[in-house]
Amino acid sequence: MRKSIYNEESIIKQLKDEKLKAAAFSIVVSHFSQKIYWLVRRMVTYHDDADDIVQETFIKAWSNIDKFRGDSKISTWLYRIAVNETLSFLEKNKSNVISLNSPEGEIANLIEGDAYFNGERVDALFQEALNRLPHKQRLTFNMKYFEEMKYEQISEILDTSVGALKASYHFAVKKIETFLEENN
């Protein structure tokens, strides 16, 4: 099967055409679902929660597709929805940070039981360090470090200044380094 090439302009035109809208949205979902999943997954502890948030992101996007004006990229719009859904989820579930050594959950067991985890202790420590960051710092770090987004794109998604993002990223890196030094 030949993989289709994603063309933003063409997809936006198709999304505005009632006859082509559903097929175009299916292409959008196919093209962005993995990227959105990993953005969300790095913010929440459980795979099932991440899946639910991704599903809710695409449901909201579909429900509001007629309101998408094309002022920003589809990816920016989807990331913004996903970020809002993730932050709402985290706020509702205000789960405490789970420590590697905590008796009530042991993040090491949670992570090691995850099919996406490779089992290294340093990875578990790194994950715990990320989990301890404030939500916005963690989002900024994840988008810059894992997604390799430019500050300008992150700025559009999070609706904040590039300077604030650079500071947030710097503080996140310092906190992670300190945590790893203290726990290694």
Q: What is the CATH number of the domain that holds 24?
A: 1.10.1740.10
The answer to whether the CB of 146 falls within 8 A of the CB of 42 is yes
Mean pLDDT across the chain, nearest whole number?
Answer: 86
Q: Within this chain, do residues 17 and 90 fall inside the same structural domain, yes or no?
A: yes
Say if 138 falls within a structural domain.
yes
pLDDT for 13-54, tens place per residue?
A: 999 999 999 999 999 999 999 999 999 999 987 899 999 999
Q: What is the pTM of this model?
A: 0.80
45: domain range? 9-95
80 band by pLDDT with thresholds 50, 70 and 90: very high
Say whether pLDDT at 163 is over 60.
yes
Say whether pLDDT at 103 is over 50.
no
Q: Within this chain, do residues 139 and 91 fall inside the same structural domain, yes or no?
A: no
Q: How would you write the chain as a 3-class SS string?
A: CCCCCCCHHHHHHHHCCCCCHHHHHHHHHHHHHHHHHHHHHCCCCCHHHHHHHHHHHHHHHHHCHHHCCCCCCHHHHHHHHHHHHHHHHHHHHCCCCCCCCCCCCCHHHHHHCCCCCCCCHHHHHHHHHHHHCCHHHHHHHHHHHHCCCCHHHHHHHHCCCHHHHHHHHHHHHHHHHHHHHHHC
Q: Within this chain, do residues 37 and 84 fall inside the same structural domain, yes or no?
A: yes
| Spatial separation of the C-alpha atoms in residues 125 and 63, rounded to whole Å | 39
Share above pLDDT 90 across residues of the chain, in percent, rounded to a whole number: 70
Determine the pLDDT at residue 69.
86
Q: Within this chain, do residues 80 and 19 fall inside the same structural domain, yes or no?
A: yes
Q: Within this chain, do residues 22 and 78 fall inside the same structural domain, yes or no?
A: yes
113 band by pLDDT with thresholds 50, 70 and 90: low
Task: Give the pLDDT mean for 59-83.
Answer: 94
Give Rg (Cα) of the chain.
18
Length reported for the chain:
184
Contacts of 177 (CB under 8 A, 6+ apart): none
Say if 125 falls within a structural domain.
no
Least confident of 121-125, 132-136, 178-182: 121-125
As for how many domains the chain has, the answer is 2
Say if 111 falls within a structural domain.
no
Among the candidates 95, 117, 147, a domain finishes at 95
| Spatial separation of the C-alpha atoms in residues 176 and 184, rounded to whole Å | 12
Q: Within this chain, do residues 19 and 91 fall inside the same structural domain, yes or no?
A: yes
For residue 153, the domain's CATH number is 1.10.10.10
